[in-house]
Chain A
Amino acid sequence: EDQVTQSPEALRLQEGESSSLNCSYTVSGLRGLFWYRQDPGKGPEFLFTLYSAGEEKEKERLKATLTKKESFLHITAPKPEDSATYLCAVQAVQGAQKLVFGQGTRLTINP
């Protein structure tokens, strides 16, 4: 069974304090690993897709990396507007285009 575990559940940082969020996964053949951002009362907003171990993608203060067992979302010098819940999901080669989600990490950046 495909499974995704995110840690920590919640993280509080000071503005400018860099850190990383973890996404551990087990999947029967990885088609892609996805990162989404979700603001309160909104739908998930797509950030990145990673397809193979060693791949990295960046967007502003965010960088996502992928290994064969986990993915990290690195946040460099975060700002209060980076506060959100970050969701990780995997898509298996088998099983159409379904996503299996982790429970998310709730990130709060204090000014």
Chain B
Amino acid sequence: NAGVTQTPKFQVLKTGQSMTLQCAQDMNHNSMYWYRQDPGMGLRLIYYSASEGTTDKGEVPNGYNVSRLNKREFSLRLESAAPSQTSVYFCASSAGQATGNTIYFGEGSWLTVV
């Protein structure tokens, strides 16, 4: 039971570089999310996808883009990384409104921008 799988687990970027965080879930969930976690700030929603083919901004979307590639996969892209994007990123998924709304998280991706 893999649940929610994120790659890479660790990444160091230089300012201005781009990268994509990958996320896949094997629970046949409709909704997927990207959160970031910073000390003293808690978990904050970056983007979410309520269902395949849709994406919406969360609380802190600036500097990020997302792609819901198919029902299983939801990627987060940093086009031009900035030191303020140094954080731990969590992908999550849930079944959706109709069938329950517990959100399950992946193990996290540690990103450092220097």
Contacts and interface: CB of A to CB of B under 8 A. Distances in A.
Contacts of A32: 101
Interface residues of A, number: 22
Chain B interface size, under 10 / 10 to 19 / 20 to 34 / 35 or more: 20 to 34
A101 interface: yes
Contact of B105 (A43, A91, A103): A43
A34 B102 contact: yes
B90 interface: yes
A87 B50 contact: no
Interface in A22-59: 31-32, 34, 36, 41-46, 49
Contacts of A34: 102-103
B108 A43 contact: yes
Interface of B: 4, 31, 33, 40-45, 48, 50, 56, 58, 90, 94, 96-97, 101-108
